[in-house]
Structure 1
Amino acid sequence: MSLQLTDEQQSMVSTIREFAAKECGTREQRLALTDGGRTHHNSQIAGKLADLGFLGLSIPEEYGGAGGGLFDACLFLEEMAYNQIPLGSFGVTLIVAHIYLNFASEDVKKEVLGAVVAGTPTAVAMSEPGSGSDVGSLRCKAEKVDGGYRLNGQKTWISNGHLADHILLVARTSDSGDKHQGITMLSVPVATPGIEIRPIATMGLEVNDVFFTDAEVGQERLVGVEGQGWMQLMAGLNTERVIVGAIALGQARRAFEDTLAYVKTREQFGRPVGTFQALSHRLAELATEIECTRLLVHDVAQRVDENPGKLMPREASMVKLKATELAKAAALEGIQMMGGMGYTVEGGMEEQLRAVLPGTIAGGSSEIQRDIIAKTLGL
């Protein structure tokens, strides 16, 4: 295994950067593509990236993808975040796509994965008002009926719910036994009668409440094995946490480089503020942390590719913990070092801070990641 990029991977990264420079390289372009910064996904940009083959890098060729590995997808995600390409839906979409890839029927794979490769977002519905970090406590019901399932309950904090054609619902089909038993995955078309999606007002994250009221889907919408949804979720944690880590790495790089550029030109007391040791040493530490995190993210992504069936709870949690906390630290340092300009919309760093903050919470908070790592140490 080598952490050096192949010629093909280097070419791919260069192409992404060229695309970003042309399509969304200026703040004015990005504002025009995101309704003045109020949205994070642009369908036209998604379509163009789909045409270039970037949205199916880790999807097998039989479903329209390129047949590459998770590492290839992570390189794209890292550059997407670094270059601020307005494709905020894609991280979650790719996480869900890999669950479909591992567990869905062939018909459902062709339906959903084909749409993902073509640029259509998808979503997963796990969290509930009373069930966040403790996913096993979920109460949304999938009652068995003739030919399928009747769905009732509420899901919350659902990314992409307003954009997706399908939602991967994680619901309870049985209350017997351990709380982690009786959990089932279903692929639910958003157009199904009985589904209501309501946006949640936040400081920038686009999430939704999703309500199911006697919504019915057929047996063919089952993803994997009924009652085995918990184990299926656990099997996907390597992919999920490495994907989140790759995005956070790109965000950290962007915050660092924007801060560095600012302190090199902003002068006080007759010289650039970055030349003062109070700032230069902190930037040196950030540069070191970014390089360490890059090596960690790239290494674990390649190890997942080499051992696709192996659970790596320690390594995957380390990736998510380290990368998301670093992205937050880099943006906060940017705010501090840019002073008043860091708080302005024009400065751009406040937008970056809003973008990185959910990373330490969504998909398993930093506290949960530390718990997982500690358990692997026998604590």
Structure 2
Amino acid sequence: MRAPDSDQIAAQAATRKIIHIDMDAFYASVEQRDNPDLRGKPVAVGGSAQRGVVAAASYEARKFGVRSAMPSVTARRQCPDLIFVKPRFEVYKSISRQIRDIFAEHTPIIEPLSLDEAYLDVTENLHGIPLARDVALRIREKIKAETGLNASAGVSYNKFLAKLASDHRKPNGQYVISPEMGPAFVEALAVGKFHGIGPATSAKFNALGIFTGLDIRNQSLEFLQHNFGKSGAYYYWISRGVDDRPVRANRIRKSVGAENTFSSDLIEFEGMVAELQPLVDKVWRHCEATGSRGRTVTLKVKFFDFETIMRSRSVAAPVAGRDDLERLAVSLLQAEMPLPKSVRLLGVSLSTLTTVASDEVASQFDLPI
């Protein structure tokens, strides 16, 4: 992150108006909306009582500690009455498009992060509304009216604080962090609450005696860069409430992937190859729909005991076709055979994505299986 000077900081605080919109328990809320029998009950989308992982949890389930990415067995143990529902991704995507259209009525500067989350720059919004908080209220009201779903919003002068603000009054809430509030809001925040700081980095901060935003602010830029590399400058500035990243419209997706948890563990190579086919199909459908191609194929293997390995291969030119993607994925799997344990999940992803003109695409390799 480029370090802004004092004039840039002042200009940023004075002029930028950024909203972070986050749908509340999106997948689970859609299921509760469409099935009245699920309303008010603990719901987990994805997985099953025996296998898989939770893709999303309703707020009723979250009270029991159920979270996304949690193994289904653990979720059921924590919430015996948990109701598992199969995901309906096409429905979620359709609703997401509705929500995106509502955003576009207010600003063309939209940076989607996922189906249920986006940044909006409303500094110069299409309705000329002077206060960003009023823009956020209008957007949330229209989302509710058109979809029946609740959204939370954070409003601030940069992306980092807008993201923090949207979490502050969830669910179905809104919070504004003004330029005057920003530094003080950050200094009381635990490092584990900083967007972009995961459990491992949080533990590293704690081991250095750093527990809050104020603790980070008290460190020199050199100290943070020495201990956290390139991220050190980012931590230095966000601990001061400063983030000069713009909202990037038409944000380019860097990777696309698909994975599946199996009802029974897999042992045989042929069975795994068969299960890779629909995953490859899904990844390639995205590439065809978006005109994107990638150079790095990654295979994900999760064993019965949840140990996970990732294997990648990069090629000189973008992967040209679906069959090439399959050959690369299968060759990565074959290189690991025989696997030491039975397999509960396989995943395939394609990264370093770029947009490639159709006349530039040609098969670049012929890999044996």
TMscore range, shorter length? under 0.3
Q: Name the structure with the higher helix share.
A: 1
Q: Name the structure with the higher strand share.
A: 2
TM-score of the two chains, using structure 1 as the length reference = 0.25
TM-score of the two chains, using structure 2 as the length reference = 0.26
Which of 1 and 2 has greater Rg? 2
